[in-house]
């Protein structure tokens, strides 16, 4: 948005609408920058077309805005993940596979947000509590495979963490080393499910 652009004042009761616009602008910019520390509240204000003081009414500092933006983004991701899992029908393995593939696709389509969410120093400065729901649901997806007898019984949380680590590694290499010449992500995911979760090759293929 042109730095000279101004917007009309929100009518009474529209403060929440402005807050959402600020968060949406921050998400767009974070995805472009891939670095939360490169974001400034003044730049976000220019993007929205408001005075910087209007941003401070809703967010005391950059970290608070980035936290709110990532929390909203993660909430949207969880909703979309639920829809992706549903495409697997009643088969726990198909649901888990759809979940993991969706996460991989989302990460490659939202590279900047992925970097801020998983690779930024914000993770050391703040407790991103909303990320815990991703782990909870991943564990539940693995547990469902175990309960159905489609994967060996074991510590579902530990297996989910191993799977998460493998997928993040595969995604990170694709993002940070685009010339690495990796195989299709789906092929790697299938191997992860067989080797880490213990799903039978027959069930996968």
Tell me if 203 sits within 8 A of 193, measured CB to CB: no
Same-domain status, 90 and 26 = no
Q: Are residues 198 and 127 in the same domain?
A: yes
93 with 31, same domain: the answer is: no
pLDDT in tens, 174-195: 888 888 888 999 999 999 999 9
Do residue 30 and residue 81 come from a single domain? no
User: Residue 47 maps to which CATH number?
Assistant: 1.10.10
103 and 172 share a domain? yes
Q: Do 182 and 174 meet the contact criterion of CB atoms below 8 Å apart? A: yes
- Domain with 121, as residue range(s), is 63-204
- Please give the backbone phi and psi of residue 138, each rounded to the nearest 5 degrees, phi first: -65, -45
**What would you measure as the largest C-alpha separation in the chain, in angstroms?**
62
Q: Note whether residue 5 is domain-resident.
A: no
* pLDDT tens, position by position, 43-100: 999 999 999 999 999 999 999 999 999 999 999 999 999 999 999 999 999 999 999 9
pTM of this prediction? Answer: 0.85
6 assigned to some structural domain: no
What integer pLDDT is reported at residue 1 of this predicted model?
A: 40
Determine the average pLDDT of the residues in 189-204: 90
The CA dihedral of 118, 54, 24, 130, to the nearest 10 degrees, is: 40
């Amino acid at each position: 948005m042109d730095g000279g652009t101004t917007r009309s004042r929100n009518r009474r009761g529209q403060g929440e609408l402005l807050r959402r616009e600020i968060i949406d602008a921050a998400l767009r910019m974070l995805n472009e920058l891939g670095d939360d520390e490169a974001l400034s509240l003044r730049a976000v204000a220019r993007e929205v077309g408001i005075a910087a003081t209007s941003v401070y009414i809703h967010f005391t500092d950059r970290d608070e805005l980035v936290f709110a933006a990532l929390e909203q983004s993660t909430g949207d991701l969880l909703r979309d993940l639920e829809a992706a899992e549903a495409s697997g029908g009643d088969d726990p393995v198909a649901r888990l596979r759809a979940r993991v593939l969706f996460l991989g696709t989302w990460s490659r389509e939202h590279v900047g947000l992925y970097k801020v969410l998983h690779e930024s120093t914000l993770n050391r400065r703040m407790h991103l509590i909303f990320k815990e729901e991703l782990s909870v649901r991943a564990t539940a997806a693995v547990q469902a495979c175990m309960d159905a007898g489609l994967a060996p019984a074991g510590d579902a949380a530990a297996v989910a963490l191993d799977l998460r680590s493998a997928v993040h590694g595969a995604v990170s290499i694709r993002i940070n080393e685009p010339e690495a010449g990796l195989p299709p992500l789906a092929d790697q995911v299938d191997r992860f499910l067989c080797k880490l979760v213990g799903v039978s090759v027959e069930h996968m293929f």
